[in-house]
A and B are shown apart, each in its own frame.
Chain A
Amino acid sequence: MASPRRIVVVGGGVAGYSAAAELRARGYDGALGLVDPSGLPYDRPPLSKGYLLGTKDAAGLRLAPEAWYTEHGVELHAARAAALRPAEGAVELDGGRLLAADAVVLATGALPRPLRVPGGDAALTLRTLGDAERLRAALAPGARIAVVGGGLIGAETASGAAVLGAEVTLIEPLDPPLVPAVGEALARRLHAQHAEHGVRVLTAVPERIETGSGGAAHRTYHLTLSDGTAVEADAVVVGIGVVPDTALAAAAGLAVDDGVLVDAAQRTSNPAVFAAGDATRLRRPDGTLARRAEHWEAAVRSGQAAAAGLLGQAPPEFGAPWFWSDRHGVHVESVGSLAGPGEVLVRRTDDGVPTAAFRLAEDGRLLGCAAVDGGLLIKAARRIIDRGTVVDPETLADPGDDLRRRAR
């Protein structure tokens, strides 16, 4: 493909925004548009944290101030994209308006996975600013909130709801969840925090939700769980994962398989369309498909890689993947992967409380590290993982050891 002169980014999440910012940072000086119904791109992680708690407002969520788009020549289109028309060199907006585009970055993100049980569509979800506003309105002190799903979003929502004085019931089939993400010891510590903060935890799944007959302001929900338990709630919120939003890609004939398929340069099956973020899934050179990466940093990186790819430049090199979560007053981070073969070491305080977990390969290389309130440890681990340094397992498990020095 010749160097594009008119690029349209579809989707204003952190992947789409990062693609636009990276295009300019790499010197692209052609036309650049960004299409998203919500207008100014905003950051989603605070929706289940500071925004839900009211410590961050909508203006504080913006990925860049409005002036940035003018300064960087990014034209914002507060509209929904109705269709990609790569053959015609255009993106069609709702209402039929066509934006000229000789290349597209598709960053449509993901949609909350629906709760597929009778009455499950009565549950709130948490993905957009609008979702967060609806949820926040339901979180009055004393309100009975049923949270379905104890993963990252569910746990953060349960935590926020408890802080706001709601009576929270968390319904999660695994005890504990998140073992692949942070290892078993930390997963247990984190899951136990719910009860310590007044959240009732039920190890089950909902089988059906019946909506009471009260008016909208007094509606109640009756959940029947797999173990027969009945839960009464004033609001139900579900956080059981996401499904990639591939509708535009599929309609445009792009290869899709539980995600828009992309290569390492974020190219889709159509040479004029690159894709980034939660909507995408990597197809490796041997044809096998990777797991979709659904974390914030992965979205940033893939947006940046798409920008490089579009300009025909080598993709940036990224190290081990990273995510964080904030709940019940603790900050959780993980880098690399705790799931898979290898030895897992746990660092504990003198009182036996686990604070970090490390996964080591047979040859002693560090493959993953998760920590509670251990930001610098994670930063050190990230460098150790990326460099393939072999670290003595005893020092990893030693709470007094400063891993920082080993990463220098």
Chain B
Amino acid sequence: MSEGIVVGGTEDIEEGTAKVVEPEESGFDEPIAVFRTETGCFFALNDTCTHEEASLADGWIEGEDVECPLHSSMFSLRSGKVKGLPATEDARTHRVEVRDGQVVLFPGTDADPDACPGQ
């Protein structure tokens, strides 16, 4: 299991937006998007849509789903599961924890789909 890295304070990511953590920072081989839902939870997925080249961090976050900005494929932020075509492959999740107001990302460690870090 990888070491957690501090992505920033909880207030650094606005509700309904996401922050991209680049490979240089995370040590993971792909960019990771850390999302904050409007309900105040933090989730992380591989940032690149599994369908085509697009950043999910630039997508539309609604509830606990993100819609890709390019072709509107929908993914569950909690589980990475595809909820809408044209993507057919699930997005990879990464574990996030919130500790003392800091958002901590565990690159390469699967998220617990029952967890809602931040709440």
Contacts and interface: CB of A to CB of B under 8 A. Distances in A.
A64 B89 CA distance: 8
B22 interface: no
Nearest to B16: A408
B20 to A, nearest CB: 16
A375 B88 contact: no
Contacts, number: 32
B88 A379 contact: no
A51 to B, nearest CB: 11
B69 interface: yes
B47 interface: no
Contacts of A379: 60, 67, 69, 72
Nearest to A68: B88
Contacts of B71: 324
A65 interface: yes
A284 interface: no
A65 B60 contact: no
A63 B88 CA distance: 6
Nearest to A322: B72
A103 B90 CA distance: 32
Contacts of A300: 85
Q: Which of B16, B58, B67, B71 has the most CB of A within 10 A?
A: B71
The main secondary structure of chain B at its interface with chain A is: loop
Contact of A331 (B59, B60, B67, B70): B70
A375 B56 CA distance: 12
Contacts of B58: 375-376
A58 B5 CA distance: 38
Interface string A1-22: 0000000000000100010000
Nearest to A408: B16
A18 B72 CA distance: 16
A65 B70 CA distance: 22
Q: Which of A62, A63, A379 has the most CB of B within 10 A?
A: A379
Nearest to A63: B88
A260 B112 CA distance: 47
Nearest to B54: A375
A62 B72 contact: no
Interface in B36-79: 52, 58-60, 67, 69-72
Interface of B: 16, 52, 58-60, 67, 69-72, 85-86, 88
- 5 closest A-B pairs by beta carbon, nearest first, are A375-B69, A379-B60, A64-B88, A43-B86, A376-B69
